Structure 1
Amino acid sequence: MTATETLNKEAEELKEQVISWRRYLHQNPELSFREEKTAQFVYETLVSFGNLAVSRPTEKSVMARLIGSEPGTVLAMRADMDALPIMEENTFDFVSKNPGVMHACGHDGHTAMLLGAAKLLSSKKDQIKGEVRFLFQHAEEVVPGGAEEMVQAGVMDGVDMVIGTHLWSTMEFGTVGICSGPMMAATDTFWLTVIGKGGHAALPHETIDSIAIAALVVTSLQHIVSRNADPLDNLVLSVTQFIGGTTHNVIPDAVEICGTVRSFDKDLRAAVPGLMERVIKGITEAHGASYEFKYEFGNYPVINDPEVTKLIEEVVVETLGQEWVEHMRPIMGGEDFSAFQQKAPGCFFFVPAGNKEKGITYPHHHPRFTVDEDALEVGVKMFVNAARKIVMENKENCER
């Protein structure tokens, strides 16, 4: 039996345990920066495996280090742990016990998969040439998130490469999604208040109509994407909140607008706030209004290192077969895994977890979101076989 076959068999034997962990975590979700019980559960579970140096780099995160018998590559693996402020509508027997809080993005599965990998690899300490560092991150769902906080705490010091994965319900189970280079976008946020002069809706000439002016701003902001950005550059500008007015016959003094900007190119990203303010300033001044504008840069884009991505693709082929490789297009969603990639080359890959035959079709952040639990075994196999290739075989082409 080859090393890959042995690891796959051991991962299959852990499947029910990993599912059990996932269901426990699903029943006990905690919001970003409130992962007290989750982190303690992860900490105690890791300690029980033995051979791991387990620590709490920040108050709500956990790190475990599996230090091998010989020097070599330091490989970090990351899973996120936080849940979302959503009231769950699923009916299975392990629904959330915390009203208004739900694992609606798969982080319960991510944590369970990395726990499975840590348990399996902890028994192979003598085969490790280098180190495997297991990072259990808090607060992925907010900006600024927990990844940057963990980086500041030193979890990436000495790391040669980093990998992570995301269960993805809108892709059908049976492949692993790989994307070299830009994969997920930078996530920036803006807030705008258009300030006019309120008054009676029947006498609009006596007002400075903040509703009408703000509507013009929203429409005109779309010209930044269509007329100020290179069509070959990925850019999304979405207004997601438009708040103003209290009743049918009153023009309000002000309208509040909020939204998000997604991009990959750093120069375009830096230019967007100025382009937006030029539009906002021109329209508001032309109509006698004023404005307040705030722009906040969020997570970096996830840019997968070509060499590390090639290694992960090889792991897919060796572990699951060539037919499991799915070359993905980039998506404009964001992920603060990118903070770890600022410190070491890395690869973020997807494990599809949708299954139409099982009725698992709801998107992420939906009250009825769930995953095909068969995907958990795939995630464990990917983690442990990445470790096999990078820090157990420690082939020359894996050293950086």
Structure 2
Amino acid sequence: MNEQLFEKLDLAYEDMVVIRRHLHMHPELSFKEVKTAQYIHDFYANLGIEVQSGVGGNGVVARVKGARPGKTVALRADFDALPIQDEKDVPYKSTVPGVMHACGHDGHTAALLQLAKVIFDLREDLAGEYVFIHQHAEEFAPGGAISMIEDGCLDGVDVIFGTHLWSLTPYSSIEYRTGPIMAAADRFEITIQGAGGHGAAPHQTKDAVVIGAQLVMNLQQLVSRRVDPIESAVLSIGSFMADNAFNVIADSAKLGGTVRTFSPEIRDLMEQEMRRVVEGTALTNDCTITFNYFRGYPAVVNHQKETEFLQQVAKTVPDISAIVESKPQMGGEDFAYYLEKVPGTFFFTGAQPVDAAPFPHHHPKFDFEERAMLIAAKTLGAAALDYQKTE
């Protein structure tokens, strides 16, 4: 059956590319993916596949039942874009100013749509049920996964598989990992209220820039001096704003950044220690500092049995040349929420361009090797079919 699946997917590859490029040219931001959701819905409806729109917002869920009873396998793809100007010189460049698919979600969607079509064609020879979860708003917390789960997208599901096309990983490779594979992604905002004044009389002020600089340096020591070296954590300050004339001491300043962790205990520690540093700095400088910490997605933690199963399945996909145990990635993913509810695994499909320079995800010139979509579809499809044989 897998051979038939692979053959049909090979034939569907050109259509996969057409879909991907259409979506790439017409991107939509998180929570605003109205036309993309309609496109996905219409694809299924035109094939006669059971499909539901408006799942948890803009999510779309399709279901295909095999002719025989069996397990229910869910496969997930995301479809939102990013607020980035597309700087690629390609025929399928984004037509929407300031918005582009800079993370591969267009490829995820195209691969899953064509895989669903092939499984639908094979349904009379299949056992079980196949749930195709097209998720909105992966890029912006709280994300779309939570609301889709609350709206029933995982009802009756026994296992879930997902993949991410990865532009810096060699094409034709698969990267897997048991346990944490992507980090919890939190953000924070710090507002310093000092006392501004003339640059010539700093003694009469409470300089928000100097206070902010102290915070930056003190916060950067938390990972090296408060976190066990065996554990992992990242604290990055991405913005520091205090715009004034050259001879004005800042009355206020704002800082923003992100914290990435894998362990719930380290996540709690970082928030606790950041709060302590902020409060201590406010006391030392006799000023007011507001600290807001926003918890984003939890860490993506793959289940061992399902990850080992996926690793074995990947060996049966002829297009794959390397199967590698991945290092944990500090990027975040709300696929984490699915794995908190049902067993499953999330893996990376190597999509580094073969004939062009690779750019990282979220870069204005991001692109990927389109043939990686075919590998992703084959791997997900083989996992879905072979899971019916497991105990």
Task: Give TM class, smaller chain.
Answer: over 0.9
Given the alignment, which residue of 90, 95, 98 partners 2:96? 98
How many Å apart are 1:321 and its aligned residue? 7.1
Unaligned runs of 5+ in 1: none
With the length of structure 1 as denominator, give the TM-score of the two structures. Answer: 0.95
Given the alignment, which residue of 361, 368, 371 partners 1:371? 368
Given the alignment, which residue of 255, 274, 277 partners 1:276? 274
Q: Which moved more, 1:32-41 or 1:70-79?
A: 70-79
Distance in 2, matches of 1:162 and 1:285, equals: 49
Distance in 1, matches of 2:46 and 2:230, equals: 51
How many Å apart are 1:69 and its aligned residue? 2.5
Q: Which moved more, 1:24-33 or 1:41-50?
A: 41-50
Give the superposed CA RMSD: 1.3
Give per-residue Cα distances to partners, 1:51-101, cap 9 Å, x unaligned. Answer: x31111234111001122333211110000001111111111111111111
Partner of 1:244: 242
Partner of 1:306: 304
Residues 265 and 313 of structure 1, relative CA distance in 2, 3 Å threshold: same
Partner of 1:68: 66
How many Å apart are 1:36 and its aligned residue? 0.8
AA partner of residue 358 (structure 1): D
With the length of structure 2 as denominator, give the TM-score of the two structures. Answer: 0.97
Instruction: Report if aligned partners of 1:78, 1:135 keep a CA contact under 8 Å in 2.
Output: yes
Alignment of structure 1 residues 213-292 onto 2, 5 Å: 213-292=211-290
Instruction: Report if aligned partners of 1:137, 1:147 keep a CA contact under 8 Å in 2.
Output: yes
Given the alignment, which residue of 317, 320, 327 partners 1:319? 317
Distance in 2, matches of 1:64 and 1:258, equals: 39
Q: Secondary structure at the match of 2:351?
A: strand
Q: Which moved more, 1:203-212 or 1:312-321?
A: 312-321
Is 1:334 matched up with 2:332?
yes
Alignment of structure 1 residues 36-115 onto 2, 5 Å: 36-50=34-48, 52-56=49-53, 57-115=55-113
Partner of 2:355: 358
Q: Secondary structure at the match of 1:308?
A: helix
Q: Which moved more, 1:229-238 or 1:322-331?
A: 322-331
Alignment of structure 1 residues 180-199 onto 2, 5 Å: 180-199=178-197
Give per-residue Cα distances to partners, 1:264-294, cap 9 Å, x unaligned. Answer: 1112212222211111111221122221111
Distance in 2, matches of 1:138 and 1:54, equals: 15
Give per-residue Cα distances to partners, 1:6-28, cap 9 Å, x unaligned. Answer: 22111111110100100111111
Partner of 2:12: 14
Distance in 1, matches of 2:166 and 2:322, equals: 15
Q: Secondary structure at the match of 1:364?
A: coil
Give per-residue Cα distances to partners, 1:29-62, cap 9 Å, x unaligned. Answer: 1111111110111111112223x31111234111
Is 1:173 matched up with 2:171?
yes
Partner of 2:379: 382
AA partner of residue 130 (structure 2): V
AA partner of residue 123 (structure 2): K
Partner of 1:205: 203
Instruction: Report if aligned partners of 2:297, 2:332 keep a CA contact under 8 Å in 1.
Output: yes
Distance in 2, matches of 1:322 and 1:296, equals: 39
AA partner of residue 55 (structure 1): Q
AA partner of residue 268 (structure 1): I
Give per-residue Cα distances to partners, 1:275-332, cap 9 Å, x unaligned. Answer: 1111111122112222111111110110011111111111110113774201110011
Distance in 1, matches of 2:376 and 2:363, equals: 22
Question: What is the total number of aligned residue pairs between the two structures?
Answer: 390
Q: Secondary structure at the match of 2:89?
A: coil
Percent of aligned positions with the same letter in both sequences? 40
Instruction: Report if aligned partners of 2:174, 2:320 keep a CA contact under 8 Å in 1.
Output: no
AA partner of residue 229 (structure 1): V
Partner of 2:343: 345
Distance in 2, matches of 1:245 and 1:107, equals: 36
Distance in 2, matches of 1:58 and 1:181, equals: 27
Given the alignment, which residue of 110, 114, 117 partners 1:116? 114
AA partner of residue 110 (structure 1): H
AA partner of residue 374 (structure 2): E
Unaligned runs of 5+ in 2: none
Distance in 2, matches of 1:332 and 1:239, equals: 15
How many Å apart are 1:105 and its aligned residue? 0.6
Instruction: Report if aligned partners of 1:263, 1:332 keep a CA contact under 8 Å in 2.
Output: yes
Q: Secondary structure at the match of 1:354?
A: coil
